[in-house]
Chain A
Amino acid sequence: MSHPAQRRWYPLAFAVAALVLLPLSVLLLSWGEIDREIWSHLWQTQMPRLIGNTITLVLGVGVGVTLIGVSLAWLTSLCEFPGRRWLDWALMLPFAIPAYVLAFVFVGLLDFSGPLQTLLREWFGSGLRMPRVRSTGGVIIVLVLVFYPYVYLLARNAFLAQGKGLMEAARVLGQSPWQAFWRVALPMARPAIGAGLALAIMETLADFGAVSVFNFDTFTTAIYKTWYGFYSLTSATQLASVLLLAVMLVLYGERRARGAVRPSNERQRGAALYHLKGGKAFAASAWCGLVFTCAFVVPMLQLLSWFWQRGRFDLDERYTALILHTLYLGSIAAVLTVCVALMLAFARRMTPTRLMNSTVGLANLGYALPGSMLAVAIMLAFSYLDREMVIPLSNWLGGSGKPILLGSLGALLLAYLIRFMAVAYGPLENSLARIRPSLPEASRSLGVGGVGLFFRVYLPLLVPGALSAALLVFVDVLKEMPATLLMRPFGWDTLSVRVFEMTSEGEWARAALPALTLVLVGLLPVVGLIRKSARRYGQ
């Protein structure tokens, strides 16, 4: 049915999909027995509220990240206003702050016993009534502030890649900036915005850390409650597979709705298209500045203040090892994941069959599950492999007959690969789709094919996408907690492990030191990437 040269991509794609399906099948196998008591209890006392909460949360976060992400991307990529130059990259920085950190910073800062309300009570008396911080609105705001960078980054790249030509054409044709935005820029950026939104929604559905700081019950908290409280890992995995189904629907909807990415000719971006003046310029600066302040400046100041009060007494030589472990895991996982995702993206481009599409889709599902559930599923899968394959093989080879997967660095890296494949795949697929098929065809006709074609034609065009992908994975691995906790080799504590240990004891002030270090380590590549992409677009 397909060309033989195309068929050779199948084994690779199947292998990657199998790796991801291994833990997912652990979830499906859990349906063998059903604990009726737990299910009927959950259904009668919990589910209606939890499902309601979850839907509210997803809608709130979805609308919030789209509004903020798209508006910021539009302003910083096509307009000129005071502060645009640094806001352009500064608005990416909140991506380095993990959701659970922003959550405890906000609650710690703004709740009744926090410094702000205490100060206000001192000024205005104890009768002062403030809005509740630990509320639905509070969770939504926090999650929007941590997840908007997904939409911002992808939308910004899309707006920049559209080039000025189209927008100028729109202007010549008498369109106002608003009309040009609605009729030209937005429809063209829709696939990128959809991809960013899908990532943000998957993160929201899977989030456990931030919602538990607010004690906001969602479907995911019910999964944990079933596991930790009722000790029923089986029922918990069943719930998780229901969640997975919901996520697959979201993803399917997103794929259907967004249509294909159009190839485009990227052009140098010269001066900004719209020079905002007066009130408009002020409003643009104020809006971008407000988001940056809430999402980054305030949390960093609060972390610094806690660090000064408590954290500095914990700072010792152990932090060198923590930082090195964190960097090591993050960078290897980033390189590994980007390479595998790139191969998948190529497989799908070279072999655009229905089978390949579904295989690649499956390989990207790891992101959709709550971290701990996926971690435990991967752990179960690896221990199964150890038991059924590694140990017999090791015995046959005259080895020690000991398990080597679980508890090894390799297994942890594979876990990251499974979890963050989608994060790397999105940007790579997007940049690959922008390359017109005519380009490699022309190269072939000029005698450049195979490996040469990849290195001389594709790679230079893919570098920005690959860097974005590597950055996203790197920062995500830094922030990752449950798989690192469960599968790290002895002695491989990371910064996020330290944050976990402090927050699990409710010691937010002391968690500030590892959290702050984590953010700073994550910021380095963010800044590097932004500078690079800024240069590329000739600013």
Chain B
Amino acid sequence: MQLNKQLFAALSLTAFAGAAQAADEVVVYSARIDELIKPVFDAYTAKTGVPVKFITDKEAPLLARLQAEGENTPADMLITVDAGNLWQAEQQGVLKPLKSSVIDANIPAQYRSSTGSWTGLSLRARTIFYSTERVDPKELSTYEALADKNWEGRLCLRTSKKVYNQSLTATLIETHGAEKTEEIIKGWVNNLATDVFADDTALLQAIDAGQCDVGITNTYYYGRLHKDNPNFKVKPFWPNQADRGVHVNLAGAGVTLNAPHPEAAQKLLEWMTGEEAQGLFAGLNQEYPANPKIEPSAEVQAWGTFKADSIPVEVAGKRQAEAIMLMDRAGWN
């Protein structure tokens, strides 16, 4: 009988090569893609000898899997590329609130969860980009002003289904209230030069090609295009410098509630907020390090400095559903 049991166990293990876990490793579910995260893990493994295993997918499926696995999850850490999804993961109770003096010292409070469930790792400014041929930057001032009549037929936007736009709208609601925000969004929609785009890259190329004059995208998309083509006829503009500042989102991470290796995961996360990792993490994607002690890469610095919105990024998550409904009502597809 015992033999049969063992045989059965062995057979089922061969068929379903099990999720057996080494004592000292960290397992990560990452919404940040392989090439933007693996070098960071490789550097950590080289330094500490701790292997890091990961799979990549979109946030929502990863979150669903974390929830479904519950206390059996193999995952120690969740990485997302926006604050809204981290907030949501925290709401669903799949993240472990951490007390880490290292993280608290490295990352400013507005870029962390108020409960310590997650922390930002890199900042992504979502700003205005303009055609250097058809726009005088003096015409530009704020996100809100893009709703003015003089931009009619000149503005390009990405789809409202992208979380970055949902986060931007959420912070507008937090600042102006729903009614005023809906007016602004309707103004934007009214000014559209063409149908909204499926991604930021296509939008920036449309400004370059002359389909529209201004648009709102994340800076690193511009960084990639500019790197490929130094004659790219588009430049960033930092809006709202006289008031709240440029909208920033973040890529960040939290340790999971049922992490099999919580200490190892926390050590990795703390290391990722530190000086060694921050330059690498942000530099891979031309982002801004979330740790203010670290300078962004030279390319990124060449775009100039700006004042960032000091609103806690959690707002993006809290007001996300409200923001989507508002964008739907305003006709932003």
Contact = CB atoms under 8 A, between A and B. Distances in A.
Interface of A: 41, 45-46, 107, 111-113, 117-118, 121, 126, 132, 134-135, 212-215, 217, 221, 224-225, 227-231, 233, 310, 372, 375-376, 379-380, 383-384, 386-387, 391, 394, 397-400, 402-411, 482, 485-486, 488-491, 493, 497-498, 501-502, 504-508
A122 to B, nearest CB: 11
Contacts of B6: 397-398
A215 B320 contact: no
Given A45-B329, A126-B210, A215 B5 contact: no
Given A45-B329, A215-B333, A228-B58, 8 more contacts: A215-B159, A225-B161, A383-B65, A402-B18, A404-B18, A485-B58, A490-B55, A506-B202
Contacts of B244: none
A240 to B, nearest CB: 13
Contacts of B62: 486
Interface in B170-218: 194-202, 205-206, 208-211
A372 B60 CA distance: 10
B230 interface: no
A481 to B, nearest CB: 10
A94 B289 CA distance: 44
Contact of B195 (A117, A126, A215): A215
Q: Which 4 A/B pairs are nearest by Cβ-Cβ distance?
A: A506-B199, A506-B201, A113-B209, A408-B16
B200 A229 contact: no
Contacts of A383: 65, 68-70, 72
B198 A403 contact: no
Main secondary structure of the interface of B (DSSP, over half): helix
Nearest to A214: B198
B321 A403 contact: no
Contacts of A213: 198
Contacts of A227: 60
Nearest to A509: B228
A471 to B, nearest CB: 26
Given A228-B60, A485-B57, A506-B199, A45 B209 contact: no
B105 interface: no
B107 interface: no
B17 A409 contact: yes
20 contacts: A45-B329, A112-B210, A117-B209, A212-B198, A215-B161, A228-B161, A229-B161, A229-B320, A379-B64, A383-B65, A391-B72, A397-B6, A398-B5, A406-B65, A409-B16, A410-B15, A485-B58, A498-B34, A501-B33, A506-B200
Given A225-B324, A404-B12, A404-B19, A488 B55 contact: yes
Contact-size category for B: 35 or more
B20 to A, nearest CB: 7
A14 B202 CA distance: 49
A230 B60 CA distance: 10
Nearest to A398: B5
B325 A41 contact: yes
Contacts of A229: 161, 163, 166, 320-321, 324
B53 interface: yes
Contact of B72 (A118, A386, A410, A493): A386
Given A132-B195, A227-B60, A398-B5, A403 B69 contact: yes
| Residue of A107, A217, A486 with most chain B CB atoms under a 10 A cut-off | A486
B8 interface: yes
A394 to B, nearest CB: 7
B251 to A, nearest CB: 12
B9 interface: yes
A486 B209 contact: no
Contact of A407 (B12, B19, B33, B333): B19
Contact of B221 (A46, A376, A506): A506
Contacts of A132: 194-195
Contact of B61 (A126, A398, A485): A485
Contacts of B65: 379, 383, 406, 486
